[in-house]
Amino acid sequence: IAAVATAIDIGGWTWPALAALFGPLRGRQPGLGYGALAVAAAALMLVCHGLALRGWVRGDAFIASAIGAAVALVGLFTLYPLSRLLVRAFVDSDGHASLKALTARIASSQIWGYGGVVWNTLQLGVMTATAATLLALGFALVVTRTRLPGRRLVGVMAIVPMITPPFVIGLALIMLFGRSGIVNAILESAFGVNPTRWIYGLPGVWLAQTLALTPVAYLVLVGVVDGISPAFEEAAQTLRASRYRTFATVTLPLMAPGLINAFLLVFIESLADFGNPLLLGGNLEVLSVSIYFAIVGVQQDPGRAAILAIVLLALSLSVFMIQRRLLARRSFVTISGKGDSGKRMLLPRSVSAVAALLTLPWLVLAVIVYAMIFAGGFFEKWGLNHALTLRNYVTAFGVENVNGALHLTGGAWSSFLTTLSIALVSAPMTAAFGLLVAYLLNRHRFAGRGAFEFIAMLSFAMPGTVVGIAYILAFNAPPIELAYTGIILVACFVFRDMATSLRAGAATLSQIDPSLDDASATLRAGSFATLRRVILPLARPAVIAALVYSFISAMTSISAVIFLTSPRFDMATVNIVGRAE
């Protein structure tokens, strides 16, 4: 199958020897179809069953087949696109492989020079990660270590931006601080201050990313702050340390792994963010947007896009590996098997005041931003005509009753229903596949397990623009043609979000005693029955979390799908960005 698939490409023979032997082709070779899929799947299952019969994975045919299928799917939808991306970086403008083309692109001063795309991307990432981590720490301390009224509402508001597309916040900031925004209008009418465009550029993107990514850091830090054992703080106070000194020398150092983790996670998310730099970037060039314009702009240079994508992937992977190494070297254990009924220390007054002053203004700004999102649709044309109207909602989500039947006449219905359908299909598949891989890695030992785990987690560090470019290069032509279909969108969501489901499943499985598996096996239940009747019921919280996260991610994603949509499969996020531009 591989030989047939790779022998003929969209341009004809790929192997010169076959071209010389059989002559030129009259037509192109289509991509592999359902027949090839059935034959490949059957051959894979036969190989896996044969290995099981020879004693691999203790002769368990289900586990052998599951490992084979998981490895094949991850290889097809993760490694294969990345390999095509790497190969494309060597192709020159004439379509020939050239090391000179690679060196010319990667050595460009526009990439590495001061003020170049890498510098801008790293600068923005550090600024956003620092601000979001400090804000998230303030929110976590206010929620868990103070008695401020309404602190639970503060905790809820801290994670609201996570369930909305990040670029929606950028759009609201334009309505608020843009040249025709409400703040500039008030300043001009009240004080005669001329409107400016400060929101377009580094300040605006930083502000939008900080608002959008603070929930990522908060979800990490709130668990860390809440999980610190009170015994250490009580011991410090027993030694007559003040609350401030206890916080500075005991509580804060124990938060170090959470702070490092939150900073690096936000940094990775900032590198991958696409929507906010696209809307607010102005003259600020960052890697994610530069990749996009290298494909769809006037450049039309897939080779440059591939190089930029590789650079972005290398940065993300480097940060990901740094995160794992830093947290693996030190121990911050505070919870042991001993009973602990201590009471958590409240924050010193000075620290409480600083945390409140840090978080409450941002909370007010977040409320205003979401109010702008909601209210903006009720005006005729924001910034020009502020007459109240329902026309925008009717245009987008209009419904008419024609002869007793409801017809969806709004222009946004098509993209919304497409997005909802794709999300409903991909979320269960993402959760199921991620949890299956977690089960295989947690409960079974097999050759290549470490490499497979790294490749499976690789998608977590892959920015969306890198995934989108890699999928287009891999699946836009034979041997596998999936571009602009619903299948490629589902595959993108499943294998991009799989790492989150895998981590949730691994955390839950580490809490389930393996002796339950042994007891099930003693009762002559197979691995599939044990997984279905023992593991899954106990892992229900992880299943629900994976489903919810996967669904929200599919509904709000933009960076990868903007390369993969088509008129037939138009996603709502791409539709919104198109209208905002």
Predicted pLDDT at 157? 81
- What is the chain's length? 581
What token pair was written down for 54?
Answer: 């020879």
Predicted pLDDT at 581? 63
Determine the 3-state secondary structure of 532 from DSSP.
Answer: helix
Rg, Å, the chain Cα set: 27
Residue 426 amino acid letter? S
Residue 454 amino acid letter? F
Predicted pLDDT at 423? 95
- Summarised one tens digit per residue, pLDDT across range 80-99 is 999 988 888 888 777 677 78
Predicted pLDDT at 332? 45
Please enumerate in sequence order all residues whose Cβ is within 8 A of that of 480, keeping only pairs 6 or more positions apart, or say none: 5, 31, 32, 76, 474
What token pair was written down for 475?
Answer: 């699946």
Predicted pLDDT at 297? 64
User: How many angstroms separate the CA atoms of 161 and 366, rounded?
Assistant: 8
Determine the 3-state secondary structure of 63 from DSSP.
Answer: helix
Q: Identify which of 282, 291, 143 has the alpha carbon closest to the alpha carbon of residue 221.
A: 143
Q: Which residues pair with 459 in a beta bridge?
A: none
Q: Which residues pair with 8 in a beta bridge?
A: 13
* Four-CA torsion 367, 370, 372, 377, nearest 10 degrees: -150
Architecture in CATH of 114-334+342-360: Orthogonal Bundle (1.10)
Q: Determine contact, residues 352/149, Cβ cutoff 8 Å.
A: no
Predicted pLDDT at 27? 66
What token pair was written down for 144?
Answer: 């868990």
User: How many angstroms separate the CA atoms of 183 and 170, rounded?
Assistant: 15
Residue 59: CB atoms within 10 Å: 12
Please enumerate in sequence order all residues whose Cβ is within 8 A of that of 15, keeping only pairs 6 or more positions apart, or say none: 7
User: How many angstroms separate the CA atoms of 70 and 455, rounded?
Assistant: 11
Q: Identify which of 374, 439, 547 has the alpha carbon closest to the alpha carbon of residue 60.
A: 439
User: How many angstroms separate the CA atoms of 165 and 273, rounded?
Assistant: 11
Residue 446: exposure state from Cβ atoms within 10 A (0-12, 13-18, ≥19): middle
Which ranges of the chain have pLDDT less than 50?
330-339
Q: Which residues pair with 402 in a beta bridge?
A: 405
User: How many angstroms separate the CA atoms of 338 and 321, rounded?
Assistant: 33
Angle at CA of residue 227, ends 331 and 338, nearest 5°: 75
- Give, as one character, the DSSP assignment of residue 78: I
Going from N- to C-terminal start, the domains of the chain cover: 1-30, 31-95+411-580, 114-334+342-360
- Give, as one character, the DSSP assignment of residue 249: I
Residue 354: CB atoms within 10 Å: 14
Residue 226: CB atoms within 10 Å: 12
Q: Determine contact, residues 506/529, Cβ cutoff 8 Å.
A: no
User: How many angstroms separate the CA atoms of 72 and 196, rounded?
Assistant: 54
Say if 31-95+411-580 and 114-334+342-360 have the same CATH topology: yes
How does 120-146 read in b/e, with b if 16+ C-beta sit within 10 Å? bbbebbebbbebbbbbbbbbbbbbbbb
Q: Determine contact, residues 496/535, Cβ cutoff 8 Å.
A: no
> Tokens 């690679």, residue?
102
User: How many angstroms separate the CA atoms of 316 and 270, rounded?
Assistant: 10
User: How many angstroms separate the CA atoms of 57 and 168, rounded?
Assistant: 48
Residue 532 amino acid letter? R
Predicted pLDDT at 427? 94
In this structure, are strands 399-402 and 385-388 parallel, antiparallel, or unpaired? Answer: unpaired
Predicted pLDDT at 132? 93
> Residue 117: phi, psi to the nearest 5?
-65, -35
Please enumerate in sequence order all residues whose Cβ is within 8 A of that of 18, keeping only pairs 6 or more positions apart, or say none: 7
Determine the 3-state secondary structure of 484 from DSSP.
Answer: coil
Q: Identify which of 460, 457, 458, 542 has the alpha carbon closest to the alpha carbon of residue 504.
A: 542
Query: Under CATH, what is the fold of the domain 31-95+411-580?
Result: MetI-like fold (1.10.3720)
